[in-house]
Structure 1
């Protein structure tokens, strides 16, 4: 892992407002996915959640078993200020790979593409471990050529299928139809079930 992408790196990005990935609202494809969920008891994780407008939206919709993990203390404090009702224990400041828990649903908001690409196989294995039985990994991956100038780092549907298919059944992996304009055509919506 690149040393520069530790907690200090991410806190500095937030402190400087260098957060070009931040939509300042729930991502439309994730909002549409959340809107069709009916089980308010789902235990939900948002890894690398940042300011996590998705967690704020989930909470507002009555999903109170939502957890956010991020390296950045500043990002988690921002979410806590916006949604003070979220228990502090559900805002976890740690390295995603050190998380020890299980979930029913994990929402991916381009966290995968923010990680050093050398960690991609580890990410897939860790995701598999974080589900009890037939959990769902749903959300967004970037769909543009892999670059060394990230984060975000890109990737392709071919790469994602090859990495995820040993561990997950791929229900959906297609270009998101409802991305925000700057990301149109560059986001893949995924819905994967643990094997």
Structure 2
């Protein structure tokens, strides 16, 4: 299973991006609308076309960063939001970052990586967050594919990855998912443990 840079670039070139809602995910919009600190340094990993980054930026959150292994979606963001800072559109592998954030948003990245990287994902999230930093977003609560993304899972499995690094403050069935994801998502808000 080769989920390389080329694999993802080809998905965008051939427009095989079924995970892309074409708009901000309703649960994340609701969460963002509650945020008041516009100085938060926010990362959206594996952000793709990131309507979430666009929404935050237009609401006045100027420290929003998107990292993606594919260049095309980063260019798509720049085309939609001309004044989005180039330095905050990071063309790189998430696992190679050397930055710190107050808030990291999970939106279809966890389900896109090879499942054998899930434990590494949790430890990197912990590493990339500042003290009391938060990992917030959506995880699939469904049995999906085994040989290609999106990869599914369940709450009990996810706990094994995140409990060592985070206080699982909110970990519940999502009530306001996008229509085609109803009853398939968990909304999570994990707070970095001081380990």
Q: What is residue 157 of structure 1 aligned with on the other side?
A: 155
What SS is found at the alignment partner of 2:157?
Answer: helix
TM-score by length of 1: 0.97
Q: What is residue 182 of structure 2 aligned with on the other side?
A: 184
Select 1:145's aligned residue among 139, 143, 146.
143
Matched, 1:36 2:34: yes
Q: CA RMSD in A?
A: 0.9
Q: CA-to-partner distance for each residue in 1:80-113, whole Å, 9 max, x for gaps?
A: 1101111111000110000110000000002111
Asked if the contact 2:19–2:108 (Cα under 8 Å) also holds between the matched residues in 1, the reply is no
Asked if the contact 2:144–2:150 (Cα under 8 Å) also holds between the matched residues in 1, the reply is no
Q: What is residue 169 of structure 2 aligned with on the other side?
A: 171
Q: 1:132 Cα shift?
A: 1.7
How many residues align? The count is 193
Runs of 4+ in 1 over 6 A off after TM superposition: none
Q: 1:33 Cα shift?
A: 0.4
What SS is found at the alignment partner of 1:112?
Answer: coil
What SS is found at the alignment partner of 2:180?
Answer: helix
CA–CA distance in structure 2, aligned partners of residues 59 and 47 of structure 1:
16
Select 2:87's aligned residue among 82, 86, 89.
89
Q: What is residue 44 of structure 2 aligned with on the other side?
A: 46
Q: 1:147 Cα shift?
A: 3.3
Select 1:6's aligned residue among 4, 20, 23.
4
| Unaligned 5+ runs, structure 2 | none
Q: 1:150 Cα shift?
A: 2.6
CA–CA distance in structure 2, aligned partners of residues 175 and 46 of structure 1:
21
CA–CA distance in structure 2, aligned partners of residues 6 and 94 of structure 1:
12
Select 1:63's aligned residue among 61, 64, 85.
61
Q: What is residue 72 of structure 1 aligned with on the other side?
A: 70
Q: What is residue 103 of structure 2 aligned with on the other side?
A: 105
CA–CA distance in structure 2, aligned partners of residues 147 and 83 of structure 1:
34
TM-score by length of 2: 0.97
Between 154-163 and 44-53, the greater mean CA deviation after superposition: 154-163
CA–CA distance in structure 2, aligned partners of residues 150 and 44 of structure 1:
28
Asked if the contact 2:74–2:89 (Cα under 8 Å) also holds between the matched residues in 1, the reply is yes
